[in-house]
Each structure stands twice: as structure tokens, then as C-alpha cells.
Structure 1
Amino acid sequence: MARAKYLFICLLIQSVLDFIYGQPQVKFFRDDYKYLETTRSFYKVHTIHRTWENAKRKCEMEDASLFYPKDQKEADVVLTYLKETQPSYPWVFIGISSKLAKGVFKTIDGLSIRQVYNKWGPGEPNDAGGDEDCVILRRDGTLNDDKCSKIYPFICKKTLASLKWNEQCNVPYMDYKYNEALGRCYKFHLNPLNWKDAFEACDSEDAYLAIINSQNEADYLVNITAEAPKDKVKGWYLRGAVHLGFSYDPSENGWRTITGETLDDAGYSMWGNNQPDGGEDEQCGSMFYNGFLNDISCEAQRCFFICEREIELLNNLSQESRK
């Protein structure tokens, strides 16, 4: 009887874990994406308008791609979804442009527009003004060329077939690594960005710029910084520091984490020598490679950065299974 009860508990725990972490099987990508069975893909309508390049970049940050319809069926399905969720939008940017060669329209993955959905509006494309190199999809299902510099809504897409799942960190991003002692997952980003863009990049991955809560966590961040292949990254960026999740709050006259705590309350406030020293020009936070804190410009300086994600539920389930 006791053995049967034990096996039942084990199976129950495993089923819960499978439900939570087996997201590809239950067709889940992110909670802000909608799965459409007809196309076996996930979609997100972005309501903050961006230029075509910034729209493409935003989708990539979410491990998705700027949507374009592959055929009439997908165009119909996605336009229906768009009309249901954003009925006032007359059009959206899609992942087709002639940026590489004037008048030669290609998808973001290199296909000729003739190989995919190719339903232009009357008289289009017309390259009005000589600078209409990006494509919009209208509510009536027709395509039109338009200026890439304009700001429009857009749709990101992730196919079910391309979905992989990081079970330890409960995210669709395989490069997050779980630290059992800290109960969190981390990713060292090797694409230098300024602090504000780094903040957005972490948020796009359902994470946040790392916050140091203890000396042990500081030591771990120093370690992953040391192990990252930083020297292989070319180009201009500030070496010697990585962006972290804290900044100066003028209303509080002090440094606070992005969750609103003072550094002392968060658990770590070890500044480098003579830091902070940048005054009004450096009001965002970073860490020297040796673990000490440093102030940095929020926009002018590009650095590596570390994203962090808590997985509290995993810890709770693990503790229950050991009881």
C-alpha cells in the first residue's frame, strides 16, 4: 500500500512537471503569442508601432520572425485574427522588402515573393518617391510597398516545428542556464547593447537584467562573465563591464534595482573604487568584470549584459518531491 502511494505521488509530480515544462506538446510558446492550429504557428500583434527594421529586430529578440503570409490560407487566417484583436488597424508591416536590390522583393529568409503570397494591390508596387522598399499587408489582403522608415504595427511569428523548450528554465530559449544553488537561470548576451536596449532584450525573453542579491550571486556572475567568449566579439563596445538591472532614481535620490529595491535591501551594494562617478551622465547600472558595481550611461555605452529569470515553481516542486 505504501509503495503504491509512493508511486502515485511520483506520477502526480511527474505529470505536473510534464504539464508545466512540456510546453511544445501543449502548443505553448509565450503567453503573449496566440497559437493558430490551421497554420501550426504562434502569432503576436505588436501594438507599439515601429519602423520595418525595428519590427524585424523586435521579432528576432523574441526568438520569432517578422510575419509574412506563405500562402492564401495563412493570409486569410492571420488577417481574421488581426481583425478580431485589432479591428482598427488598416495594415501591418510584413517580412518582405526590396532592401537588397531595388524592385526585387524578397522575404526575410531569402525567398522570392513569387514563391509565397504575392497578391499586390492595383498599381502596386509603384515605389512612390523612389524609396518604398518595404511591404505592408492591408486588411483586404492586398500588398503595398511603403517606406521602411514609417512606423506601423506588425506581427511576429513562431512556427510550432521550430519550437524548442528549455525545461530547466521553463522558457523557449535554450541558452539560459540554470544555477541550482541560486534557483535562477542566466544568459550572458554577447551582442553589446546600450543599457536601455539591453533592458528591452531581457524583457523580450521573459527575463530581466540581472540583479545581484548576494555575494554568491555576484561570484557566479563574475564566473560566467569570465567564461564567456568575449574576445571573439569584434567592433566597438565598452570592455570591462556588463549591464545589470539597477539605475539611479532621481525621485528617491538613490540607486535602485529595476524591481524598486535599494541596493542594500536587494542584498549587494559593493561599488568599485570611486564609483559611482558619472553624475547625471551615468545613471544606469553595470558590473565590472571583477564583480564590483559601476555606473554607466543609459544610452551612449554599449556593453555585454546578463539576463536573469527566476523559476520559483521548479524549486517548490523539487522540494515537495523530496519530502
Structure 2
Amino acid sequence: MPRLTLLYVVILMTYFYINEAASDCPHGGKKVKNKCVREFSEVTDWKDAMKICESENATLLTVGDLGFLQDLNDTLRLNHKGYWVGARKLKSWFWFNATKPITWFKWGPGEPNDIGGGENTLNMMHKLNYSWNDEKGTTVDTDHEDRKPAAAVCQFDGPCSSQLKYENTVYPRKTFQNKTCFLLIKGNNDWNTSQNMCQNTFVHPGYLARIDDLETHEFLVKFIKKSGYKANYWLGGWWNKEKESTFRWLSGAQVSTEVWANNEPSGDGNCVELYKDLGYYLNDQKCDPSDRRKFICEYYDLHQN
């Protein structure tokens, strides 16, 4: 093969290799272990860093272990002040949307020090070789070297990864068969308000969840029990008695008979709920504004191919 032709083939193969690798992560992100990470050059406070990630359908980064942190440090060279990551201090330190406290730390010397009180967010400081520093996340103090803002580093890590606007109302997300994301909403609302929240409140527009088969039912029951919020939950099924002869999901599909509880539907309501005392099988319930339940939203993850 002539040298020029061989050189052309090598260049072409390299081009496709680079572009194939780049396509693994959205929006120009870099792959670090199992996560796609993107750093931003704009310096800001923690609250606005969260908004930057949210605008990209991502979340502030969570750092799972020391090995991940070491690999991450090799990629973070854009900003020389530091990076905000997705940890907050409540009574203990938690990664964003996690239910258990952080169990390992990489604090810099003398950290955490909670200077002046209220240092309840976390950044990785360049001058500390990207070790961790506790910081006030909603103020920018440019007169104090340690209080200067940092940049956002966001993660795109697969199904159900996008941030919610009202995270305090939601139990962490779960994905089913890598297709659908479910949210357990802890607040109690009537059926119509619940559907409006699923459709309009969160980053991804969704709807009250549907259960098409026993496999989906089993998945959601395990999800509810694991969450610790054992209660009745609204689903997206209802009966338009003026036009229909049976219950249907919001999609128009008929509610399967195999997921109803025994002797249900009994005809005493026209909305569908998962009823705790009936083994979390379906029950028909009145849709009155006074009938308030927790509820489950469903949406399709936008990061999937």
C-alpha cells in the first residue's frame, strides 16, 4: 500500500475513533469511569453552579470513591480556583439526592473549618490540589481568598440522572428496564394536582405513572418498600364514566385486570391508586379535592439513545 494511502487510512481511523469516543458523552463531556463529566469555565457560587448543570439536564458531580477522584483530577485543568460538587451539609454531609451520608472524605489540611458558620456546601480547591473544602454556597465574597467563587463540574450519568427543581419533595429516582424513570413524591395532593405536578414541575415533563403488567407492579412495590414511605399512591388511571365503560391510563390504554386488587374496581371511585392495605394492588378511589395521596410520576430519560 502506498505510504500516502496508508497515512490517509490512519488519519481516517483516528478521526472516527476520536469522534466515537466523544459521542459517548453529551455536550462535549469527558468520560471518567462510568460517568460523563463536563467542566465549565464560568466562576459562580454553588447555587448558580447547580443551575448551570440543570440547564444542561445534568447534576453537580458526586464523587463515589478515591479512585474516581484520582481519575477526575487528571481531567480538571480548565479552572484554577476550584470546582463546586454536589454535596451539602445537613446534619451530616450528603451527596445531592442521596439518602445516606457520605462515608469517606478527601478534606484539605485544616478542613472542614466552617469559617464564620454556614459553610454547608463543598468544593474542590485548586490550591489544595483539588482536595475538599467546605464553603458557603450562596454568597460570593471576592475580598476573601477562600471565599472566591468556583466553577461548576457537572455529570451526565445515565438513566434518571437529571436534577429536579423541588428535590426536597422527592424520593430518589429509579429506572425500569433502562426505559422509564419513576419518582415517588412524598407530599400529599389530590389526583388532578398530582398529575399537574408530574407534567409541569420537574425538568422532564412526565405524567402520573401507569402499570401495564405484573413485572412493573413488582418493581414499583419494591421501590416503595425500599423508600420507607409506605402509603397509598395515586397513579395515572381514571374512568371517564360519561364516555368510557372501563378504567384507562392517561395514554388511553385500558388498565389491565391482572393488577387490580381482588374485587376491584368496586365502582366507588373514578381515579386509580396503589392501595397499601391491598398489597399495593390497584383500587378505585374518589377524585375529590379532599382525597389526598402521595403519588408516582413517570417520565422517559432524555439522555438515552
Q: Could you state the TM-score of these two structures normalised by the residue count of structure 1?
A: 0.45
* TM-score normalised by length of structure 2: 0.47
